[in-house]
Structure formats: structure tokens, C-alpha cells
Structure 1
């Protein structure tokens, strides 16, 4: 039987929400091993001069505990 744990990570990108999600997983994988999935809980963006300029995600990352 596998034991799974979920952590919540906030990440951002100036390109896209997809890139922000990739940043969340990349940063978490520096200290967490055996990542199995990522669930994007929330998305938001900041707007400057009528254009979105910073994409943010609230990601739940699931990993297996050994």
C-alpha cells in the first residue's frame, strides 16, 4: 500500500498559467521526491495597463512517501 502526501504550492510566471504550474512542480521537485500528480486549485493574474502580466497558480502536489 502506498502512502501519499499533498502539499500546497503557490507559483507564478510572466508567460502563462501553464508555465506557472510547471514552475510549481519544478521548484517542489528540488526538495520533494516521487511527485505523482499536480492539481491546480486556483488561477489568478495581475493586470498592468490593461494587460495580464503575471500569472499565478495555487497548486496541490501529491507525492509518495517512502
Structure 2
């Protein structure tokens, strides 16, 4: 029997939503063990003062095996 924990992460990128998600997963992979599922919950865009795209953001739920 296994138990998994789910956390929320927000990745950002100046390139794309896909890159933002990849940035978040890469960071999670570097500090968490046994990642299982990543679910994209929300995509949004941060705008600068002139209304131009400053960053793409991807909000993710990441699950990993929980060791107690």
C-alpha cells in the first residue's frame, strides 16, 4: 500500500505555458522523490505596465510518494 501527497506549484516562463510547466516539474524533480502525476490546473499570463506579455504561468498539482 502506498500513500501519495499532492502539492501545488506555479512555474513561470517568458517563452510559453509548456516551458512554464517544464520549469515547475524540473524543480520538483530536483527535490522530490517518486513523482507520479502532474495535473495542469490553470494557465494564465502576467502582463507588464503596457499590457504586453511579461510571463506565462502554469499552476500544477504534483503528486509524489509520501514517506512518513
Q: TM-score, normalised by structure 1?
A: 0.85
Moved more, 39-48 or 12-21: 39-48
Higher strand share: 1
Provide the aligned C-alpha RMSD in A: 1.5
Unaligned regions of 5+ residues in structure 2, if any?
Answer: none
Q: Give the Cα separation in 1 of the matches to 2:59 and 2:51.
A: 23
1:4-61 CA-partner distances (Å, limit 9, x unpaired): 1001111100111011011111111121110011111111112355643310011110
Given the alignment of the two structures, is residue 61 of structure 1 paired with residue 66 of structure 2, yes or no?
Answer: no
Structure 1: tracts of 5 or more residues without a match? none
Kindly tell me the number of residue pairs found equivalent between the two proteins.
Answer: 66
In the superposition, the TM-score normalised over structure 2's length comes to: 0.83
